[in-house]
C-alpha cells in the first residue's frame, strides 16, 4: 500500500516508477492533489476555513474557576500556505464525539497560530485558544468609573468590547457602590480580574457549538450538575471498557493563614474604629494576616473583604483531584462521588478545575476511531459545602508618582467645592472624561495649615493645573498636593524683573479680570525692600488689644507715612465702652487743609485746652470769627468787633488805652467813670457835658 493511501487521501497516486528511494519523492510531488477529511473522527475542529482544511489530531484544555481557560490544538493539513491572519481572533469550535450523536463542544478564539513542521508529507500546525475574556488582555488603558458597583463596571467594560451576549449573571449577592474606581494602565482583563477577586466574584465557561458563555458566580447555587452525569462511582483504577467512573483520587491540605485583619481610615469619620477580623475554620495555623489600608470606608464592607480573603485561603487549602473517563464534565459543574471506600469522601463536589487531553493521531480516511483515540481528564474538586473564592493574584496598579490634572466644575462655575474644600479634576491621561464636575470624585486638597475651626484655606479654581498624589499609591485615593503654572496660566508678574518678589494675588469672582484682585507682595530687592498690600474693595482690620505702628524707627531711617482717602474717614475711639482717649504727639509742624466744607469739633463733656508754650496762635477767617459762651459772645468781622454779654469787665493791671477817631459810650440807665486816685476828662477842642442834673464836686 502506498504512503498516501495509509494517510487517507481520497485520490490514489499513480503506480511508482521504481522501488527505489525516488518513489517517495514521486509521492510527495502529488500531495497537492490529495484531500483530508474529518468525517467520522472522534474529535474535529471547525474554523473559518474550509471544513477539512485543518484536521484536529490533539487537544490540551485547561480550566479553572475565576480564570480564563487555555486550549492548544495540534492540527495537520495538506495545505502549506495557511495564513495565520485568516484565523487569529477568529472563533473556533471543537467537536468531541460523533457528530450525529449529541456531541460535546469546546469553543474559543484563536490567539496564536502557526506552522510547526511537516511529517509524512503533511503540514503540522499549532493553535492556541482562549475565551473572549482572555482577549481582553490585549486591550485596555485608563478610565474613571463613579457611583457604580463592580458588576455594573464589568458589564460596561464588556459591552464596550462587544461581548455582552456572551456573559451570564448568576450572582446572588448585592455589591457596594464604588464612589470612585479607576482603571489605570491596565488591560481590561487585569482590571476586571482584580475587581472580581476583591469582591469574591468568580466565573466559569459553558460551551455550545457556536459560542462560549462566561458565567459570573459568587455562590454554589449558581452551579449545576453536568447534563450527562450528576454522580459517578469511584474505582481505584479505571478499567477500560467498563462504565464511566472516577479514579486515581488524591487529596492534600496546605498550611495557610488562620485569620485576616483589615483596617482603614475615613476622614469623614476620623475617630471611628475601622478594624475588622475574619477567622478561617478548620486550619492548622493560628497566624493572622494584617493589611492597611483595607480598601473600605464602611465596616460591613470591610467584613465582606476579610471574609473573601478567608474563604479564598480556605478553598485553596483543599487540593483534591481525580481522573474521570469522560470529557462531559467541566469546571463549574457539580458532581457527586459514590462508592469510595472512605465513606466521608462520598459527597457532592464543585469541579474547580480540569485538565483535558485528547489525541486522535490516525488521519486516514475514516481514521481516528476508538482504537486511536486517547482521553485524559483530570479534575480538581472542592466539597460543595465550602465556598469557593479565587486567590487575589492580580496586582492593583501602584501610582509611581504624582499626576497632572486640571480643576473642573459645572459650566459657568469658577470655584467648585464642598464643605471640606474638596475639588474635582480631569487627569491629563483621561480620554473619557468630559471636563466638568463628572470627571472625578471629590478630592481633598492639602492646605498650609489646618485646625478645628481654624487654619488656612485656598481653593484651587476651575482651570488651574494641580499636582495630584495618591495615598499609598492607590489609584482610587487621590489627594491634591500642589499647584503649578503653565503657558495658559502664567505667574502674576514677569519673573525676569520680579524674581525677588513673593506674591499673593487673587482674582475677583465671578468674571473678574486682571484689574480685579487682592494682593500681598513682599519685594526683597536689596535697598528697595517693600511690602505691598492691595484690597480690591473693602479692607477690614480687627485688633482686639493693642495696635502699634512704627515708621522708620528700628533702623533709625527716615520714614514717612502718607494716608490718602478718596471719600470719607470715620474714627471712633472708645465709643460704646465709656472710655477712650487719643494722644497725638508731633515732633515738628502739623498742617491740616480742608479744601471744601466745615471743620467741627464737639466736646460733649469736659474741657478743651490749647496751649502754645512758645510762639503765637493765629486764627484767621474770611467772614467772621465768633466766640460764644451762653448769652455772651465776641464776634470778629472784617468791619469790626462786637462784644455782647450781660456784664462786660475790662481790667488792665497797668493801663487800658482806647484810641479812635470817634469813641461813643452809651448806657440805657447809668454810666460811671471813676478813678481811685485821679480822673481826667479833657478834649483838644470843645467838651460838652449834658444831663438833667449835672453835679460837679
At 201, which CATH number?
3.55.50.10
pLDDT in tens, 658-671: 777 887 777 777 77
Distance from C-alpha of 480 to C-alpha of 445, rounded to nearest angstrom: 5
Same domain, 48 and 123: yes
For residue 311, what pLDDT is reported? 94
Query: pLDDT tens digits, residue range 160-207?
Result: 999 988 999 999 999 999 999 999 999 999 999 999 999 999 999 999
Instruction: Please tell me the number of Cα atoms within 13 Å of 177 on its side-chain side.
Output: 4
CATH number assigned to the domain comprising residue 82: 4.10.410
Q: Same domain, yes or no, for 28 and 79?
A: yes
Q: What is the pLDDT of residue 601?
A: 85
Cα→Cα distances 173→203, 221, 222, Å: 14, 12, 11
pLDDT of residue 380: 97
More confident residue, 20 or 391: 391
Q: What is the residue range of 526's domain?
A: 501-534
On whether both 139 and 117 belong to a single domain, the answer is no
Cell of 202: 468568580
For range 685-693, the mean pLDDT: 74
Q: In this structure, are 483 and 518 located in the same domain?
A: no
Tens digits of residue pLDDT in 476-521: 999 999 999 999 999 999 888 889 999 999 988 988 888 888 999 9
pLDDT of amino acid 24: 38
Q: What is the pTM of this model?
A: 0.81
Domains of the chain: total: 4
pLDDT band at 688 (very low <50, low <70, confident <90, very high): confident
Residues 111, 21, single domain; the answer is: yes
**DSSP notation for 285-332:** ---EEEESS-S-SSHHHHHHHHHHHHHHHHHHHEEEEEEES-S---TT
Same domain? For 99 and 156 the reply is: no
Residue 328 included in any domain = no
Rounded to the nearest integer, the mean pLDDT of the chain is: 88
Note the pLDDT of residue 33: 40
Q: Which of 164, 197, 221 is the last residue of a domain?
A: 221
Task: Examine the domain organization and report whether 12 and 126 are in the same domain.
Answer: yes
Is 245 among the domain residues?
A: no
Q: Is residue 163 part of a domain?
A: yes
User: In whole angstroms, what is the distance from residue 566 CA to residue 562 CA?
Assistant: 13
pLDDT digits (tens, 9 = 90+) for 83-115: 999 999 999 999 999 888 889 999 999 999 999
- Residue 356 phi/psi, 5-degree rounding, is -105, 130
pLDDT at 194: 98
**pLDDT of 281 higher than 70:** yes
For residue 226, what pLDDT is reported? 94
How much is the pLDDT for 107? 98
Q: Is residue 231 part of a domain?
A: no
In a shared domain, residues 36 and 126 = yes
Q: Which of 566-575, 620-629, 634-643 has the lowest mean pLDDT?
A: 566-575
Q: Is 488 exposed, middle or buried (0-12, 13-18, 19+ CB in 10 A)?
A: exposed
Strand partners, 640: 637
Which residue, of 221, 241, 263, is where some domain finishes? Answer: 221
Read off the pLDDT of residues 468-479 as tens digits, 9 standing for 90 and up: 999 999 999 999
Q: Count the Cβ atoms, other than its own, within 10 Å of residue 313.
A: 22
Confidence of residue 560 (pLDDT cuts 50, 70, 90): confident
State the CATH number of the domain containing residue 409: 2.40.50.230
Residues 9 and 99 in one domain: yes
Higher pLDDT, 342 or 585: 342
Q: Identify how many contiguous H helices and E strands the chain contains and give both numbers.
A: 6, 32
Q: Kindly state whether residue 240 falls inside one of the protein's structural domains.
A: no
Q: Report the pLDDT value the prediction gives residue 77, as an integer from 0 to 100.
A: 95
pLDDT reported for residue 413:
94
User: Which residues contact residue 5 at a Cβ distance below 8 angstroms, ignoring those fewer than 6 apart?
Assistant: 12
Of all residues in the chain, the percent with pLDDT exceeding 90 is: 62
User: Residue 79: which pLDDT band, with cuts at 50, 70 and 90?
Assistant: very high
Residue 664 lies in a domain: no
Final residue in a domain of this structure, among 191, 221, 251: 221
The yes-or-no verdict on residue 27 having pLDDT over 60 is no
Q: What is the rounded CA–CA span in Å between residue 608 and residue 172?
A: 93
CA nearest to 422, candidates 442, 400, 398, 447: 442
Range 336-353 average pLDDT: 97
Mean per-residue pLDDT, 336-345:
96
Q: What is the pLDDT of residues 358-383, one digit of tens each?
A: 999 777 655 555 558 999 999 999 99
94 and 14 both lie in a single domain = yes
| Cross-strand bridge partners of residue 125 | 75, 115
pLDDT exceeds cutoff 70 at 272: yes
Does the residue 309 lie in any domain? no
Task: Confirm whether 631 is domain-assigned.
Answer: no
Amino acid at each position: 500500500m502506498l504512503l498516501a493511501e495509509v494517510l487517507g487521501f481520497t485520490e490514489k497516486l499513480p503506480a511508482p516508477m521504481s522501488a527505489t528511494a525516488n518513489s517517495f519523492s514521486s509521492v510527495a510531488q502529488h500531495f497537492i492533489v490529495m484531500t483530508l477529511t474529518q468525517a467520522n473522527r472522534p474529535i474535529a475542529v471547525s474554523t473559518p476555513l474550509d471544513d477539512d482544511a485543518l484536521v484536529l489530531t490533539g487537544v490540551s484544555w485547561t480550566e479553572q474557576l475565576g480564570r480564563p481557560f487555555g486550549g492548544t490544538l495540534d492540527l495537520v493539513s495538506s495545505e502549506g500556505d495557511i495564513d495565520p491572519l485568516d484565523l487569529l481572533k477568529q472563533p473556533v469550535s471543537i467537536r468531541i464525539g460523533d457528530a450525529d450523536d449529541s456531541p460535546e463542544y469546546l469553543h474559543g478564539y484563536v490567539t496564536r497560530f502557526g506552522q510547526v513542521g511537516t511529517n509524512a508529507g503533511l503540514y503540522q500546525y499549532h493553535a492556541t485558544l482562549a475565551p473572549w475574556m482572555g482577549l481582553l488582555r490585549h486591550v485596555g488603558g485608563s478610565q474613571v468609573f463613579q457611583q457604580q458597583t463592580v458588576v455594573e463596571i464589568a458589564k460596561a467594560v464588556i459591552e464596550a468590547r462587544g461581548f455582552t451576549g456572551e456573559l451570564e449573571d448568576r450572582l446572588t449577592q448585592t455589591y457596594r457602590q464604588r464612589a470612585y474606581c479607576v482603571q489605570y494602565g491596565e488591560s481590561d482583563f487585569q482590571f476586571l480580574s482584580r475587581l472580581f477577586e476583591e469582591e469574591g466574584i468568580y466565573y466559569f465557561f459553558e460551551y455550545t457549538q457556536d459560542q462560549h458563555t462566561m458565567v459570573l458566580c459568587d455562590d454554589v447555587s449558581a452551579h449545576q450538575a453536568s447534563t450527562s452525569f450528576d454522580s459517578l462511582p469511584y474505582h481505584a483504577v479505571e478499567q477500560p471498557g467498563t462504565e464511566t467512573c472516577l479514579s486515581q483520587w488524591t487529596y492534600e491540605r496546605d498550611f495557610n493563614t488562620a485569620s485576616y485583619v483589615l483596617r482603614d481610615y475615613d476622614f469623614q469619620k476620623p475617630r471611628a474604629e475601622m478594624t475588622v477580623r475574619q477567622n478561617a475554620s478548620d486550619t492548622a495555623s493560628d497566624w493572622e494576616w494584617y493589611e492597611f489600608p483595607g480598601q473600605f470606608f464602611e465596616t460591613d464592607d470591610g467584613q465582606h473583604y476579610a471574609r473573601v480573603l478567608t474563604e479564598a485561603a480556605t478553598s485553596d487549602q483543599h487540593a483534591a483531584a481525580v481522573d474521570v473517563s469522560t470529557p462531559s464534565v467541566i469546571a463549574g459543574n457539580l458532581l457527586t462521588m459514590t462508592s469510595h471506600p472512605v465513606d466521608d469522601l462520598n459527597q457532592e463536589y464543585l469541579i474547580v478545575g480540569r485538565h483535558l487531553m485528547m489525541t486522535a493521531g490516525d488521519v486516514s480516511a475514516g481514521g481516528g476511531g476508538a482504537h486511536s483515540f486517547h482521553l485524559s481528564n483530570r479534575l480538581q474538586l472542592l466539597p460543595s459545602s465550602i465556598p469557593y473564592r479565587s486567590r487575589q493574584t492580580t496586582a492593583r496598579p501602584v501610582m509611581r508618582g504624582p499626576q497632572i490634572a486640571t480643576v473642573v466644575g459645572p459650566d459657568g462655575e469658577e470655584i467648585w467645592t464642598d464643605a471640606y474644600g474638596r475639588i474635582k479634576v480631569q487627569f491629563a491621561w483621561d480620554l473619557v472624561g468630559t471636563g466638568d464636575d463628572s470627571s472625578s470624585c471629590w478630592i481633598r486638597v492639602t492646605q498650609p495649615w489646618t485646625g478645628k475651626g481654624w487654619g488656612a484655606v485656598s481653593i484651587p479654581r476651575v482651570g488651574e493645573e494641580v499636582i495630584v498624589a495618591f495615598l499609598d499609591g492607590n489609584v482610587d485615593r487621590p489627594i491634591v498636593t500642589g499647584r503649578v503654572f503653565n503657558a495658559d496660566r502664567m505667574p502674576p508678574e514677569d519673573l525676569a524683573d520680579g524674581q525677588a518678589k513673593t506674591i499673593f494675588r487673587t482674582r475677583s469672582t465671578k468674571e473678574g479680570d486682571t484689574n480685579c484682585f487682592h494682593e500681598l507682595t513682599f519685594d526683597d530687592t536689596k535697598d528697595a525692600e517693600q511690602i505691598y498690600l492691595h484690597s480690591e474693595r473693602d479692607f477690614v482690620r480687627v485688633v482686639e488689644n493693642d495696635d502699634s505702628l512704627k515708621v522708620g524707627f528700628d533702623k533709625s531711617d527716615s520714614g514717612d507715612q502718607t494716608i490718602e482717602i478718596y471719600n470719607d474717614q470715620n474714627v471712633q475711639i472708645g465709643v460704646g465702652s465709656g472710655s477712650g482717649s487719643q494722644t497725638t504727639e508731633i515732633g515738628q509742624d502739623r498742617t491740616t487743609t480742608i479744601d471744601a466744607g466745615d471743620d467741627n469739633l464737639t466736646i460733649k463733656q469736659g474741657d478743651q485746652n490749647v496751649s502754645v508754650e512758645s510762639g503765637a496762635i493765629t486764627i484767621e477767617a474770611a467772614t467772621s470769627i465768633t466766640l460764644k459762651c451762653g448769652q455772651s459772645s465776641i464776634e470778629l468781622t472784617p468791619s469790626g468787633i462786637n462784644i455782647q454779654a450781660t456784664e462786660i469787665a475790662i481790667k488792665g493791671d497797668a493801663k487800658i488805652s482806647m484810641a479812635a477817631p470817634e469813641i461813643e459810650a452809651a448806657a440805657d440807665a447809668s454810666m460811671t467813670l471813676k478813678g481811685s486816685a485821679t480822673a481826667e476828662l479833657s478834649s483838644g477842642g470843645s467838651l460838652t457835658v449834658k444831663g438833667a442834673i449835672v453835679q460837679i464836686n
